[in-house]
Structure formats: C-alpha cells, structure tokens
Amino acid sequence: MNSIVSLKWLLARMYEADIVIVDCRFQLGKPASGREAYEEAHIPGAVYLDLEKDLSAPIEAHGGRHPLPDIAQLTGTFSRAGIGNDKRVVAYDDQGGAMASRLWWLLKYLGHEEVYVLDEGFTAWKNAGFPVNAEQRTLIPSPFFATVQHNLLVEMDEVREKLGHADVTLIDSREAPRYRGEVEPLDRKAGHIPGARNRFWAEGRGADGKWKDAEAQAARFEGLDKDRETIVYCGSGVTACPNVLALREAGFTNVRLYAGSWSDWISYEGNPIATGEEDREDE
C-alpha cells in the first residue's frame, strides 16, 4: 500500500481502534491559525499536532527555521498523542499535504511504518459531507519506542561534502523563482545549493488537488536515476517532505531529507550559493 489514502478510505476506518487521526493544519506567519481551525472543526477523534510547537525544535543559530526535534522529545509527543507503535496513523492538513507529510516523515524516521497522508485534506473532507465536529477527546497515552532510521536524514556537512558528486542527486523543492534566487521572502540569502535540480513540491498534486499516482510522480522526476542517492531540501525542511514521499511513490530507493534545508545551509558562512537555472537533464 502506498502512503496516500483517500477520503473514503479514512471514512470507512476512522472509528477502528488502532487508527490515530492527526490534524496538522498550520499556516506560516499565522502560527495560531491551525489550532484555531482545529478547535472550530476537525475530523472526529483527531488530535492536533502543531508544526512549530510539536514537530519542530526551537530555532537556534543553525538547524534552519524548523529544526528537527530531539528524538526523546518527539517520542514523548507521539506517546502523549496516543501514537503507539501498534497504531495506524493518518495525517491531514489544508496545505496540500505539506504539514501532514512532515509528520509522515518524522514517524518514518523514527521507524514507524504504518503512517499515511490523507489525500486532498480537511476542506475536501468537509465539502464531501463527511463528519466533522469540535469535540476534543481525552488523550490516552500509548508508548512509542523509536527505531531511528539514520539513513533517511542527511546533515549539512555531508551535503557539502557531496557537492558535485556524480552519484548524488540534489533536489530543491521550492518554487522556481526562489530556486533561481530571483525572490526570497523568508530567508536572508537567495539562491540554491550548487548542483540542485528544481522540482516544486506542489506539482506532486494535480489540478483537482489530488496527489498524482505513482506513474505521474515518476514523470515529474524523469531523467533522474531511481537508485542513486537522492537528497531533498526546501526552505526549512517542511515542504521537502511531500517531495520525499512523492519520490518514494515513484520508485526511488535511496531518498534522504536535508532537514535543515536552505535556511540551515545559509547559516554557515562560506557555504557556496548558486543562482539562475541549473536544471538540465542527465547527459
């Protein structure tokens, strides 16, 4: 089974005892809006996890705008939310899957395989006439034990060491103008990591808002070697996650997240920066 589940799939299973539904709605620049939306209405039984309070660590000099949480902190968060090792987790948001994919990746990183992203998101669920309410259920903690998958993560020094290596593909998940360095609304320097290809994360969805199937995802990454080490980044390590998911759906076998991403890369003086178009296919 792939990592994307349909609205009807969840509707049929939402009350099963081993299902944990997680609301991940969050808007950059409006940090309270996600929880406010959750408190107004959510999928029945869903728990809320906040991108910045629960799924990121506090910002420091390095690590980017959404640093990875400490593993002990993260396992505690999951345990308190009722996400035990025996649970199936379905994450949703209203941001095209970006925030839900962050939770998906974090759980995969900690060795939890039974985690899925809800296709289309909350508004589509509500518009379909499926149930919503504002009730917040009492959380029953469930022990979560991490088995960290270190191969899924890459740190800045390793990215720098691998620049220019023919056996490594680097993918920048931001919009093309940010990749080219023409605009930079969030970070203090514009451009991209030298050698990176640009594959905007939101293009993993079709015009109907649904995730593209495996064949269409593979077409997005055509020309890239599926067996080559593939390192994915974005601005802060969040919207890279849906690209990681898409690459896995497309059959890429060695996909790693540079969690600190661009905001971490530029925090180190001397790291090289490229601008303009650099996205040519393999020779």
Q: Which residue has the tokens 């081993």?
A: 18
For residue 234, indicate whether it is catalytic: yes
| Cβ atoms 192, 181 nearer than 8 A | yes
Length of the chain: 283
The whole-angstrom separation of Cα 22 and Cα 107 is 12
- Host H or E run for residue 160: helix 156-161
Buried b (16+ CB within 10 A) or exposed e, 181-202: eeebeebeebbbbebbbbbbbe
| Cβ atoms 193, 265 nearer than 8 A | yes
In this structure, how many other beta carbons lie within 10 angstroms of the beta carbon of residue 230? 23
Indicate which residue of 234, 244, 247, 255 is catalytic: 234
Smallest Cα–Cα separation from 94: which of 126, 120, 133, 130? 120
Angle CA 69–74–76, to nearest 5: 145
Question: Tokens representing 126?
Answer: 């509500």
Smallest Cα–Cα separation from 229: which of 157, 149, 158, 156? 158
**Coil vs helix vs strand at 101:** helix
The whole-angstrom separation of Cα 94 and Cα 37 is 10
Question: Tokens representing 65?
Answer: 């705008």
Chain centroid to Cα 99, Å, comes to: 6
Give the residue numbers annotated as catalytic, written as ranges. Answer: 234
